[in-house]
């Protein structure tokens, strides 16, 4: 429910921005769809738990992602636009690192990072038009699952995991090439900050529920190639 509430807030902010400048000249809608490669560039702290329950040096690594990227853009003038972007949420895979590298896959989850951006296009540049963007994103997770390998490593019977969401500024630079009046090709590079806390609760025979946690920080870099349609 909290995730849905944040999505509604992002959508409402976009709608307000569009409506507040509805009088601007040369309004234009653009839908873009394509491929994005997300290099997550994460670092984790050590997994911690109650004294005597967690060996030192256990960390987490996160695999990079391939994303089907989608966005809606409302052009407000020749130079300015507001964009809402989302995509099909990929599966995030966390693996053991440090002394826990042999465990393999530790957890999986769907990762979402809907984003609202203000874009400025250098419209007077011929042929290939550069642009810059700045906005905000909210990263959150669904379908969070801990692996049986993790549970077995701690001699448990079952485990559950929760990954905390976070807000972050979001920056982009890109280039657009106009194929004709309606179609464009877009190449972009984006970056933002990702910060989460993973809390894993393992049911352990003879002891009960043991909660462990690890901090994860990253500065994802996104390389995207999309095709856009104006209407």
- The residue ranges of DSSP E strands in 179-207, in sequence order, are 183-192, 194-204
What is the number of other CB atoms lying within 10 angstroms of the CB of residue 157? 10
Domain definitions of the chain by residue range: 2-230
One digit per residue, the tens of pLDDT, for the chain of length 231 reads: 454 454 445 445 544 544 444 444 456 999 999 999 999 999 999 999 999 999 999 999 999 999 999 999 999 999 999 999 998 999 999 999 999 999 999 999 999 999 999 999 999 998 899 999 999 999 999 999 999 999 999 999 999 999 999 999 999 999 999 999 999 999 999 999 999 999 999 999 999 999 999 999 999 999 999 999 999
Q: pLDDT per residue over 127-144, tens digit each?
A: 899 999 999 999 999 999
Q: pLDDT per residue over 186-209, tens digit each?
A: 999 999 999 999 999 999 999 999
Sheet of strand 208-218: strand arrangement: 42-44, 208-218, 194-204, 158-163
Strand partners, 69: 34, 87
What is 2-230's CATH number? 2.40.160.20
């Amino acid at each position: 429910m909290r995730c849905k509430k944040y999505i509604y807030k992002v959508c409402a902010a976009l709608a307000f921005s569009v409506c507040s400048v509805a009088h601007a000249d040369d309004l234009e809608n653009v839908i873009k769809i394509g491929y994005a490669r997300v290099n997550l560039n994460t670092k984790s702290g050590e997994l911690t738990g109650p004294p005597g329950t967690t060996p030192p040096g256990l960390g987490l690594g996160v695999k990079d992602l391939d994303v089907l990227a989608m966005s809606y853009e409302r052009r407000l003038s020749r130079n300015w636009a507001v964009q809402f972007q989302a995509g099909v949420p990929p599966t995030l895979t966390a693996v053991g690192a440090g002394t826990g590298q042999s465990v393999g896959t530790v957890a999986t989850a769907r990762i979402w990072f809907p984003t609202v951006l203000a874009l400025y296009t250098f419209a007077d540049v011929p042929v290939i038009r550069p642009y810059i963007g700045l906005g905000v994103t909210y990263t959150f997770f669904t379908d969070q699952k801990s692996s049986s390998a993790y549970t077995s490593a701690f001699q448990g019977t079952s485990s559950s995991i929760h990954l905390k969401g976070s807000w972050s500024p979001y920056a982009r630079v890109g280039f657009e090439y106009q194929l004709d009046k309606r179609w464009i090709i877009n190449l972009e590079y984006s970056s933002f900050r990702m910060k989460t806390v993973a809390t894993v609760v393992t049911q352990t025979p003879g002891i009960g529920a043991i909660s462990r946690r690890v901090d994860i920080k990253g500065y994802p870099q996104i390389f995207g190639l999309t095709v856009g349609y104006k209407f």
